[in-house]
Amino acid sequence: MRILITNDDGIYAPGLRELVRALAPLGEVTVIAPERQQSATGHGITLHKPLRMTPVQIDAPAAEAFATNGTPADCTILATADDRPPPDLVVAGINMGANLGEEVLYSGTASAAMEGALQGFKALAISVTAYESCIFGPAADFAAALARRMTDVGLPPDTFLNVNVPNLCTEDLGPAVLTRLGRRRYLNSLERREDPRGRSYYWFSGEPLESDAAEGTDISAVQAGLISVTPVHFDMNFRGVGGEFDALLDGLGS
């Protein structure tokens, strides 16, 4: 099995190394990851500057490892650079910090996996629910078990798995459950500050406000200490009962 490992926390992030160590026994691991922090860069791709892949040594058993100046989605696209055969599996992570609800829209980790799904590769994104004192071991073991299972069990087209693992030791961690995305709105307080030259600048300091943490959501699962596995599809078409937009275009145009 050919496995591409990428992330958005950067090539030297500890979660990436743990993932490489856990997945290396399954096949040939190639790492292509951003050279620096790319969290919350979403699904951007690089069109207006050269993309570089610099071979690097990482302290983990990857066949090849490259740092790129691109985004997480670029990293997935670069998997087939120089006529490399396509990966059988793309795994993004292990991210420091949960990716729940609408965070998948901002997450570089989720976007790298989504790009994999769009390219026709099996893909999963995996995150632990903490930014400090992260416990990566159980998440890495789960990624390996899930990756093994995915060799036999396919995913529907254009779909990836968004996995969130509570930051707990193995003995405190519950089983894996299938979930849907909840809602994790941010109270986007935009802090205005002044630089030493007297010019103003802004800094996001939003706090998450969990507005849909109902049973069955990814948020409720991780709150209960369970591993949340959400199948995510790129289709953002409005799903309603029908007729919600009839009045919008009534009499407009010719």
Q: For residues 95 and 167, which CB has a smaller minimum distance to Mn ion in the complex?
A: 95
The CA distances from residue 41 to 105, 144, 158, 224, in Å, are 9, 26, 21, 29
Q: For residues 8 and 218, which CB has a smaller minimum distance to Mn ion in the complex?
A: 8
CB of 95 to Mn ion, least distance (A): 4
**CA atoms of 54 and 21, how far apart (whole Å):** 21
Assess contact for 145 and 161: CB atoms under 8 A. Answer: no
CB of 59 to Mn ion, least distance (A): 20
CB of 109 to Mn ion, least distance (A): 6
Return the closest-CA partner of residue 41 out of 76, 77, 73: 73
Residue with the CB atom nearest Mn ion in the bound state = 39
For Mn ion, the binding residues (CB under 5 A) are: 8-9, 39, 95
Which uninterrupted H or E stretch holds 116? Answer: helix 108-118
Q: For residues 30 and 41, which CB has a smaller minimum distance to Mn ion in the complex?
A: 41
CB of 139 to Mn ion, least distance (A): 13
Q: How many CA atoms lie within 13 A of 241 on its CB side?
A: 1
CB of 13 to Mn ion, least distance (A): 8
Q: For residues 87 and 93, which CB has a smaller minimum distance to Mn ion in the complex?
A: 93
Q: For residues 39 and 167, which CB has a smaller minimum distance to Mn ion in the complex?
A: 39
Residue 248, Cα to own-chain centre: how many angstroms? 36
